[in-house]
Amino acid sequence: EAQVTQNPRYLITVTGKKLTVTCSQNMNHEYMSWYRQDPGLGLRQIYYSMNVEVTDKGDVPEGYKVSRKEKRNFPLILESPSPNQTSLYFCATQFGRGTSPLHFGNGTRLTVT
């Protein structure tokens, strides 16, 4: 079954404590991205990756890092989380660009206190 798997589903942490949200896909898609979803703001792209070792900033990259060392994994790293990063995060993959739909993970709800 085609899947985008995010872990953890829920995470509560404290300001400044580094964390990583993992994303893994089994569809062999080259394109992967991270979004955050906030009430009234919709989905905003954080980072994306066109292929292994190729990453680029989205609309709201500040405070986040990503890496793409292998095709199937695209972790999101918060080196020093702050309360304004409390949000619902989604990983998404896509075959090609533009005309292909995004496939989303089930989300990670992060709370930073």
Partner 1 sequence: AQSVTQPDIHITVSEGASLELRCNYSYGATPYLFWYVQSPGQGLQLLLKYFSGDTLVQGIKGFEAEFKRSQSSFNLRKPSVHWSDAAEYFCAVGVGSGNTPLVFGKGTRLSVIA
Burial class (CB in 10 A: 0-12, 13-18, 19+), 1: exposed
26 is a site residue for partner 1 (CB under 8 A): no
Of 14 and 39, which CB lies nearer to partner 1 in the complex structure? 39
Size of the site for partner 1 (CB under 8 A): 23
Q: Does 42 bind partner 1 (CB under 8 A)?
A: yes
- Span interacting with partner 1, options 16-24, 38-46, 64-72, 73-81, rule CB under 8 A: 38-46
- How many CA atoms lie within 13 Å of 2's alpha carbon, on the beta-carbon side? 10
Site of interaction with partner 1 (CB under 8 A): 4, 33, 40-43, 45, 48, 50, 56, 58, 90, 92, 97-99, 101-107
